[in-house]
Amino acid sequence: MNFYNLSSAVELRRSQLVVGSPELINSNISMHDHTLFSRVGFRGRGVESFLREQGLNVPAVPNQSVVTAAGVLVLRLSHTEFWVIDTDKSQHEFIEALELASKGVANVYRLYCQHSHGCFLVRGENTSNMFAKVCGVDLSEKAFECASIAQTSVARVNAIIAKQVISGEEGYLVLSDIAGTQHLWDAIADASAEFN
Amino acid sequence: MKIMNCPLNGPRNISEFVYGGEVKPMPDMVNCSDKEWAEYVFYYDNTIRIVQEWWFHSPSGYWFIAERHTASDEILKTYDPSEIFKERIDFEVKAKPAQEVVS
């Protein structure tokens, strides 16, 4: 099979999300569309050592994340599944090089999360209270520490929620199937409205 | 809401899970009869006992095994499939002789 580079043609990517304007829902909660930011996923028994060889720190246990000083976020979604995400649109070359470096590495298989998922960042003072309305998992400060990941249902849509310090501020990165992101965006915006 | 304990993600609403059938020993897929294969894929005993079942946590795409009592519907235990399945199973297909096309 030919090796297709999923990170290529970054300038041709288009987000289908109609986010409305402004992205700041209110003074307490803000939402930012990160769908077009580069990301790549890997699954397999060889991924952990592959990422370490590439100079990335990886979390020791599933459902944890680490972020590098340069803004590359590494999510560990299971013992053998990792997603590497650019958090400030500056690490495209790194992600692309990482994807190309995985070619031919034993027990490392790429995942199509660039095109299969939408991604957005939600942050602000009342974000965890807002999530309590749409998500069954307790994401409050006490129960859900920074660097935790919850893979669960949000507003009846499957989603991955990663809490991490992104661009110097704590926030929740939400990844969800691309077909459902508009619904999820609107549902979160609607749930946020009352915290004005 | 019923809660199930996912071995990877912890307790989650039952609506996040999908049933995947009973855990049964797989017959030799190359040499078994069609009847044996159909029994393996489609038929279950349906008796009152504790069964081992495949369950799928949909948001994380994770398959695991649960032990459930079929009468009380109580889920007694959930665990990673690696506790039972230690080795990868490859589905090697024996090449069949080409059949003539009957027109």
Which tens digit of pLDDT belongs to each residue from A28-38? 899 999 999 99
CA distance A35 to A89: 10
For the segment A84-108, the average pLDDT, to the nearest whole number, is: 93
Name the helix (H) or strand (E) containing A181: helix A181-192
Q: Which residues in chain A are contacts of B8 at CB distance < 8 A?
A: 62-63, 78, 151
Question: For position B94, what pLDDT does the model report?
Answer: 66
Q: Tell me the β-bridge partners of A110.
A: A42
State residue B10's pLDDT score. 95
Please tell me the predicted confidence (pLDDT) of residue A171. 96
- Contacts of residue B69, Cβ cutoff 8 Å, sequence gap at least 6: B48, B49, B50, B51, B76
Q: Is the pLDDT of residue A22 over 60?
A: no
What pLDDT sits at residue A133? Answer: 96
Domains of chain A: 18-195 (3.30.1360.120)
Instruction: Tell me the three state secondary structure of residue A183.
Output: helix
- Quickly state the pLDDT bin for B79 (edges 50, 70, 90): very high
Mark out the alpha helices in A34-117 (DSSP H runs): 47-53, 92-101, 113-116
What's the CATH fold of domain B3-83? Folate-binding fold (3.30.2270)
pLDDT at A134: 96
Q: What is the pLDDT confidence band of residue B32, given thresholds at 50, 70 and 90?
A: very high
Residues 21-80 of B with CB under 8 A from A: 57-60, 62
**Once rounded to an integer, what is the mean pLDDT over residues A168-182?**
94
Higher pLDDT, A19 or A111: A111
Residue to mutate among B2, B6, B9, with most A CBs inside 10 A, is B9
Q: Token digits for A190?
A: 């609607």
Q: pLDDT class for B9, splitting at 50, 70, 90?
A: very high
CB-CB: which of A62, A63, A153 is closest to B13?
A153
ipTM above 0.85, yes or no: yes
A21: confidence class by pLDDT, cuts 50, 70, 90: low
For residue A112, the model assigns a pLDDT of 85
Domain ranges of chain B: 3-83
Which range has the worst mean pLDDT, A6-10, A41-45, A179-183? A6-10
Higher-scoring residue by pLDDT: A16, A162: A162
